[in-house]
Structure 1
Amino acid sequence: MHALFAINDPASQSPTIERFVRQLAPELRFAEVEVTIVSPYASFQNDSQLAERLSTLTVETTSGEQKVRVLEGRTQQSIRHFFLSNGRYLDSAQTDPHLRAAFFSKAVCEFVLSLSSTIDIIHCNDWQSSLVPVFLEECYAEVDALAPVMVLTTIHDPRELGVCKPEILLEMCLPAHVCHPDNLGHEGAVSMLKGGILYSDGLSLLSESFVHEYLKDGGAFGLDESVQARQEDLFGVRIGVDYSGWDPKTDPLLAKNFDREYLNGKRQCKADLQRIAKLPIIPNVPLFLFCGELIEHKGLDLVSDVLDDLMDAGAQLIIAGCGAPEYETAAQAWAGEFPKQVSVFDKVDLALTHRALSGADILLLPSRWEVFEDLHLFAMKYGTIPCARAIGPYKDDLEAVDDLGKQGTAFLFDEYTPDDLYRALDEAVSLYALQRQWRGLQSRAMMRSATLRNTAVAYKKLYEELL
């Protein structure tokens, strides 16, 4: 079985997609799936060794035939990575991203035709490559060599619909009916993601639980009717993580190494975190951590609503991240109001993330919605207990702590309300006071594992079902 990953945007713009492919591809190969990657020349080339130009493709547009150079490289994991280069549509930073996406999607079809080896699955990612199945059906339906090729589109960010003018699709010689409201038409324009939803043989999300949320009325960000029409072909495949470099027993970035049998080292990591956060070094107060983008759906408005109660409980809170100005300002205001209990890091690097996860007691994850997140998996490996809303990946990965604190790995709440969040926080603070039970909870959490190898096996099974 041979899978081709089509990725169309630089890693700086689509870090989730880039990481998804980089980490999953070697594991798929281990699962006996041959993997190839194709992307525009402007994407990812810094991580690959480029070879000489292999060949030239021809892509038809309304402005004439466009020549596309094909170069081959290798990723750091020795995965074959082909690059498509065209000065007008692919190589220039000034090119409209939707025009680049449309041209790239069509060029991928020509690229598959040019290969000497057979491609069984084209694995597209988000709107930036989701026109591939549209071109296969509308422009290449009579090409026998492409008839057996199946397309799976993974939706990483369902908010991004790839909305653009119909003229962009028409410039790539797609027929006019594709732009009709019953097809890719969307609110007077067209949605590229809608093309992937309607034309792909299969669709996947990065969370089994989010599939149910995505299918609810209003859950597909304006594409409800299209998504619900394809619900039989919509799958959730939870993405595991690469734990290499994330072991508290050997992590060189920690103040003191520890494991589930020797948790005293975590106390030293907590003191180290309190020190660099300029908080009082008090070992027996619960230290909460919010680490990530300060943006609307991450639930900071809920944190604001319960902050006074959390401070009254004697807790400490570290905010590590940057984002929307209003949330950055709010976080700084909290630190100003509670200087001995709240601290803010507005610049977060990998070293700080390791130190924060090793030193914190509880990781705050009160998101309004979430499709893909993995910080909670690393946090548990470091004995830091998630307090999360039971949605998407959190619902997939976390088990609620029971009333006695003897089972479960996290404090969960269901409704996006201050009262429900406070209930979960209160449970966490109460159990934290019972250090014997708390250490048992930490030990259970540190045993939790979600590896990429399991993800690769799940995707291989999905590929086989499509074929």
Structure 2
Amino acid sequence: MRVLQVCAEIFPLLKTGGLADVAGALPPALRARGHEVRVLLPGFDAILAGLEDAVIVCDLYPPAGLSWGAGRARLLYGRLQAADVEAYVIDAPGFYARPGGPYADAHQQAYGDNHLRFGLLGWVAAELAQGMDPYWSPAVLHAHDWHAGLAPVYLRAAQQARHQHLAGSVFTVHNLAYQGCFAANHFAELGLPAQFWGVEGVEFHGQLGFMKGGLYHADRLTTVSPTYADEIQRPEQGCGLDGLLRTRAADLSGILNGVDDAVWNPATDALLPATFDVADLSGKALCKADLQRELGLAVDPDRPIACIVSRLTEQKGLHLVLQALPGLVAQGWQFAMLGSGDAWMEAAFRDAAHAQPAAIAVRIGYDERFAHRLIAGSDAILVPSRFEPCGLTQLYGLKYGTLPVVRRVGGLADTVADTQLDTIDTVATGIVFEEFSATALLAATARAKALHRRPADWATVRSRAMQQGFGWADAARQYESLYLQVQG
């Protein structure tokens, strides 16, 4: 089956979060099941730089609004060798060749024409389903998150105009909180038929909603864990879309993200000072000592390290970690963090590290190589999120024998089994807590510290954690099942 994945970023070329990891890992997993998969991406500098053997498919002549500001626009086809996938890339320098990030400038201000930049992405996806490339057209469009939310909308409009089924569509929500909402007057710039405005279309509380459009018009909907699929149908986490999602419950699936074994595997990870596996953990001890030296922490094999790799936002519960830090250190933990986000939070973590450099180490920014070393060298990884669609760092922690301490929410609830006296020898893989508070987080780290003081029990839970099977093969099988239901 021919499948077109539509997304805004892809690992390892461009990454702002877990979406890129999924975009990079799912195509090879589907290809292993015999499917022909290509990706469609905006022509950001990093993507164009990684495109090999590029040829011009065609010049692009989108609706007038979408072409405003884009300048020259054309569709390229080639191979993203670093991501191991064939790709279409929209070469529109006026939209994508900018010095800031993919969605916002250097001051974290969203670009004012994002509705055009990502509207064009959706329009091209639908055009590919109509034969824009005469040599290849997809049977299924799989659109990821709000950036690609208009792909199913443009496809639906084309199918209505042509009175034929061109391709099936699947829309995956990676985080419902980021919806791609814009002023209503921008709808006129998109070239969509007038009837696509309104409650039964892309209108969302008087605004233009890319996420809303994808949720309304795609043939099938998915999100990235079964628990999150249930949570977003309720007001607390439905972000105003819970009513729509309840009406589409029969079309909504929760499919867990996986871990790309070619990237995250402690037995083969070239980014580590020493490799290890569940049968021989001597390399993990070396990773820990190396990490303590690198970060200026006291080198002590018996003192556990709790780490975080995250965006610094309240959604991720990082303000709870700040409140808990003094108690965490008092419990006997060292703390190491890699992340960036809210400026006040960055400053607060820096101040904490400056005050206690032998116990707390903080790096602001993102460094893929250091993320691997940090997770491998730590004993526990903290993920105290307010909400968490799937989460990937807890999966990396499981894989690397770094026990997750997580809140029971979303994908965290689906992937980590709590350690209790009656679960140590059966299912336990980490520590799970309920309440979204610093007090509950500290109680959870105290339980983790107590487990660490019992080496045999710690080893039992760690061994089971490392043997959990969160690869991409099962997810690919579930997506394949959806594709077969909707294919053109």
> Is the shorter-chain TM-score for this pair beyond 0.5, marking a shared fold?
yes
- CA offset at residue 69 of structure 1? 3.2
Which of 463, 478, 485 matches 1:458? Answer: 478
Give the alignment of 1:252-263 within 5 angstroms.
Answer: 252-263=270-281
78-87 vs 192-201, greater mean Cα deviation: 78-87
What is the rounded CA distance, in whole Å, between the counterparts of 1:157 and 1:167 in structure 2?
25
Greater Cα shift, 429-438 or 341-350: 341-350
1:128 is aligned to 2:131: no
Structure having the higher Rg: 1
Residue type of the alignment partner of 2:444: A
Amino acid at match of 2:230: H
- The corresponding residue for 1:31 is 33
Given that 2:313 and 2:319 are in contact with CA atoms closer than 8 Å, whether structure 1 keeps it comes out as no
- 8 Å CA contact retained: 2:159, 2:166: no
Deviation string, structure 1 residues 221-276 (Cα, Å, up to 9, x no partner) = 22222222212211111111112254334444434443322323323322222222
Superposition deviation, residue 305 in structure 1: 3.2
What is the SS of the residue equivalent to 2:213?
helix
Separation in 2, partners of 1:425, 1:50: 51
Structure 1 residue 171, shift from structure 2 partner: 2.5
Q: 1:420 to 1:18 in 2, by over 3 A?
A: closer
Select which of 48, 51, 54 maps to 1:48: 51
Change (3 A) 1:299 1:40: closer
Q: Report the 3-state secondary structure (helix = DSSP H, G, I; strand = E; otherwise coil) of the residue aligned with 2:76.
A: strand
Structure 2 residue aligned with 1:6: 6
Matches within 5 A, 1:262-301: 262-301=280-319
- CA, structure 1 residues 459+265, in 2 after alignment: closer, same or farther (shift >3 Å)? same
For structure 1, which segment, 114-123 or 440-449, has the greater mean C-alpha deviation from structure 2 after superposition?
Answer: 114-123
Letter in 2 for 1:103: L
Alignment partner of 1:73 is 2:48: no
How many angstroms does 1:395 deviate by? Answer: 1.4
Q: Deviation per CA, 1:127-185, whole angstroms, max 9, x where unpaired?
A: 222222222333541315x5142111111221222112333322233233433245322
Higher alpha-carbon deviation: 393-402 or 80-89: 80-89
Q: What secondary structure does 2:39 align onto?
A: strand
C-alpha change, 1:290 and 1:103, in structure 2 (3 Å) is closer
8 A contact 2:129–2:167 mirrored in 1:
no
Q: Distance in 2 between matches of 1:338 and 1:91?
A: 42
Query: How far apart are 1:347 and its partner, in Å?
Result: 4.6
SS in 2 for 1:122: strand
Q: C-alpha separation between the residues in 1 aligned to 2:41 and 2:90?
A: 6
Contact 1:184–1:190 (CA under 8 A) maintained in structure 2? yes
Matched, 1:203 2:208: no
Going from structure 1 to structure 2, the CA distance change for 1:186 and 1:201 (only over 3 Å counts) comes to same
Please list the CA deviations of residues 101-128 of structure 1 after superposition, one character each: whole Å capped at 9, or x if unmatched: 2233223322322234452211112222
Q: Counterparts of 1:157-306 in structure 2 under 5 Å?
A: 157-306=175-324
Is 1:83 the counterpart of 2:89? The answer is: yes
4+ residue segments displaced more than 6 Å: 62-67, 87-95
Whether 1:107 and 2:129 are equivalent positions in the alignment is no
User: Displacement, 1:315?
Assistant: 2.0
**Separation of aligned partners in 1, 2:365 and 2:135:** 48
Query: For residues 251 and 166 of structure 1, do their structure 2 counterparts lie closer, same or farther at Cα, with a shift above 3 Å needed?
Result: closer
Q: Secondary structure at the match of 2:238?
A: coil
Distance 2:73 2:369 in 1: 41
2:369 matched residue in structure 1: 351
1:156 to 166, 170, 174: 174
Amino acid at match of 2:154: F
Residue 364 of structure 1: how far off its partner (Å): 0.9
Alignment of 1:337-416 (within 5 A): 337-403=355-421, 405-407=424-426, 408-416=428-436
Q: CA deviation at 1:201?
A: 0.6
**Residue 328 in 1 paired to residue 346 in 2?**
yes
Shift in CA distance, 397/140, structure 1 to aligned 2, threshold 3 Å: same
Separation in 2 of the partners of 1:91 and 1:344?
Answer: 32
| SS at structure 2 position matched to 1:239 | coil
- 1:419 alignment partner in structure 2: 439
* Gap regions ≥5 residues in structure 1: none
> Equivalents in 1 of 2:42, 2:51: separation in Å?
13
Please say if residues 123 and 151 of structure 1, whose CA atoms lie closer than 8 Å, have aligned partners that are also in contact. yes
Return closer, same or farther for 1:253/1:190 CA change in 2, 3 Å cut-off: closer
Quote the offset at 1:287 in angstroms.
1.8
Counterparts of 1:296 and 1:46, CA distance in 2 = 34
Secondary structure of the corresponding residue to residue 265 of structure 1: helix
Shift of 1:73: 0.8
CA distance, structure 2, for counterparts of residue 263 and residue 217 of structure 1? 45
Q: Which moved more, 1:64-73 or 1:415-424?
A: 64-73
Instruction: Work out whether residues 366 and 388 of structure 1, in 8 Å CA contact, stay in contact via their aligned partners in 2.
Output: yes
Q: CA deviation at 1:433?
A: 0.5
Instruction: Choose 254-263 or 275-284, whichever is displaced more.
Output: 254-263
Q: TM-score, normalised by structure 1?
A: 0.90
Structure 2: how far apart are the matches of 1:245 and 1:40? 24
TM-score (norm 2): 0.87
Identical-pair percentage? 27
Q: Distance in 2 between matches of 1:90 and 1:332?
A: 33
Give the number of equivalent residue pairs: 466
1:220 shift after superposition:
2.2
Residue 390 of structure 2 contacts residue 412 of structure 2 at CA under 8 Å; is this kept in 1?
no
Would the alpha carbon gap of residues 9 and 398 (structure 1) be closer, same or farther in structure 2, given more than 3 Å must change?
Answer: closer
Counterpart secondary structure, 2:52: coil
